[in-house]
Chains A and B, each alone.
Chain A
Amino acid sequence: MNKHLGGQSIKFAEPVSIVSAASVVGSKEGEGPLSRYFDVILSDILAGKKSWEKAESEILRQSLELAVKKADTELDKIDYIITGDLLNQNTGSTYGAMDLQRPMFAVFGACSTIGEALSLGAVFVDGGFAHTVLAGASSHFCAAEKQFRFPLELGTQRPPSSTWTVTGAGSFVLSKDGEAPFITGVTTGKIVDMGVKDQNNMGAAMAPAAADVIAAHFRDFKRTPGYYDCIITGDLGTVGKELLIKLLDAEGFDISKNHTDCGIEIFNPEIQDTHAGGSGCACSAVTFAGYFYSKLKKREINRVLFVPTGALLSPVSFMQGENIPSIAHAVVAENKR
């Protein structure tokens, strides 16, 4: 049976259960509006470790183990781990998943990583190559500032259009057996380059990639925006949200009523001084694992299109003046098979 659909999508024959979701976040996220949906809120930004990078790995490890525990299963039942992060050469994932000693793929999709990990995990399970997959993503504010902007020791001011990298990790157990919600399909994004060079305005860079994959999704599945209770993008922020709605409107899709963005949901910019919103791999991962997953479980919402968005830059590409190309991956989560 051909499960490939249209130009960029897969419709799963056997929908893949999202058995559990776990979210571990830093204290700033814990003070935000979604506070009560997170499993663990750390009071220490270093998570008891000596560096921010070690802290990020520790946070990822905690969320992976918590997801396994919440799924009522054991580590040795996990066939594959698929995780990613923002640190050089995926070291956040390497040190975070190392002790779990399970077969492992580390992936990079910048802030869209959790979409990539869930897509690949679901393909593994539906294809019969794995029974249970553990997918996760992490980021850390201090480590990301150091890697992509300026070291915090410099005390540089953040421009108003900048976003705040979420400290945390979100993990999911995907399985052949299990209850709703299910991943019923995915649409994989293409790299979109609109010539944006401003590292402090990633929302504008990523919105075209989100619009591209969402439009492709509707065409491939022959669906309209009304099919979904929520269309959830990753970290477009306030600037990117407006642009996304405009871009999709031009394609004939009106998502203004059911669109929401994890970067907007996770912080309160007025009280928390986070400027344009949250970002980072963990932004969409913990918001989906905490907030939207619990809403799906309670059946307050039943069909969502989860579209984490990523800006594919490296510190080197940025300093050499390259554009910031972007990507977004769409994952359909539904309570019905």
Chain B
Amino acid sequence: MKELVLEYLKVFVVGGLICVIGQILLDKTKLTSARILVLFVVAGCFLGAIGIYEKLADFAGAGATVPLPGFGYNLYKGVCAEIDQNGFLGVFTGGIKAAAAGVAAAIIFGFLASLLFNAKEK
């Protein structure tokens, strides 16, 4: 039980800290939200390549893999695995394959939400 609580705490803190970085960038810089998102994906990819993100994902689980840098890390991992299997062609196919579930889910749930709800003034 104690281990489970600790696990949840790690996930929450790491995931939260990644979001805090995003909030600070939004409030203190002139970066638009779209640019911050791209920055996070690229950062996840880069941190994956130099071996840092893997350690973070091992430590914090979904706290590191669910936020956007996790998506970048996933792209990187997919490319590596595909290169091992298919060689150079993996550079082109690996990322998309690894991200397929996430991308398709975003499109399908986005579509369903747009059928069910209308946007409102904030």
Contact = CB atoms under 8 A, between A and B. Distances in A.
Interface of A: 26, 28, 45, 141-142, 150-154, 156-160, 167, 198, 200
B115 interface: no
Contacts of B27: 159-160
Given A157-B26, A158-B122, A167-B121, 14 more contacts: A26-B121, A45-B120, A141-B121, A142-B119, A142-B121, A150-B33, A151-B119, A152-B121, A152-B122, A154-B33, A157-B33, A159-B26, A160-B27, A200-B30
A200 B32 CA distance: 10
Nearest to A160: B27
Which 9 residue pairs are nearest across A and B when measured between Cβ atoms?
A152-B119, A156-B33, A153-B119, A45-B121, A198-B30, A142-B121, A157-B26, A141-B121, A160-B27
Contacts of A152: 119-122
Contacts of B24: none
B89 to A, nearest CB: 34
A154 B33 CA distance: 10
Interface in B20-39: 26-27, 30, 32-34
Contacts of A26: 121
B18 to A, nearest CB: 16
Contacts of B30: 198, 200
A52 to B, nearest CB: 9
Contacts of A158: 122
Contact of A28 (B26, B32, B33, B121): B121
Interface residues of B, number: 11
B114 A153 contact: yes
A86 to B, nearest CB: 16
Interface string B29-73: 010111000000000000000000000000000000000000000
A157 B31 CA distance: 12
Contacts of A150: 32-34
11 contacts: A26-B121, A45-B120, A45-B121, A141-B121, A153-B114, A153-B119, A156-B33, A157-B33, A159-B27, A160-B27, A200-B30
Contacts of B26: 157, 159
A151 B26 CA distance: 17
Nearest to A156: B33
Contacts of B119: 142, 151-153
Contacts of A153: 114, 119
A58 to B, nearest CB: 16
A239 to B, nearest CB: 14
A274 to B, nearest CB: 11
A200 B120 CA distance: 21
B115 to A, nearest CB: 12
Contacts of A167: 121
A277 B27 CA distance: 17
A200 B29 CA distance: 11
Interface in B107-122: 114, 119-122
A82 B34 CA distance: 37
Nearest to A161: B30
Nearest to B122: A152
Nearest to A45: B121
Nearest to A142: B121
Contacts of B120: 45, 152
B20 to A, nearest CB: 13
Nearest to B110: A153
Contacts of B34: 150
A26 B122 CA distance: 13
Nearest to A200: B30
A200 B31 CA distance: 10
Contacts of B32: 150
A153 B121 CA distance: 10
The residue in B119, B120, B121 that gathers the most chain A C-beta atoms within 10 A of its C-beta is: B121
B74 to A, nearest CB: 22
A151 B33 CA distance: 12
A41 to B, nearest CB: 14
Contacts of A200: 30
A198 B121 CA distance: 23
A323 to B, nearest CB: 14
A141 B120 CA distance: 10
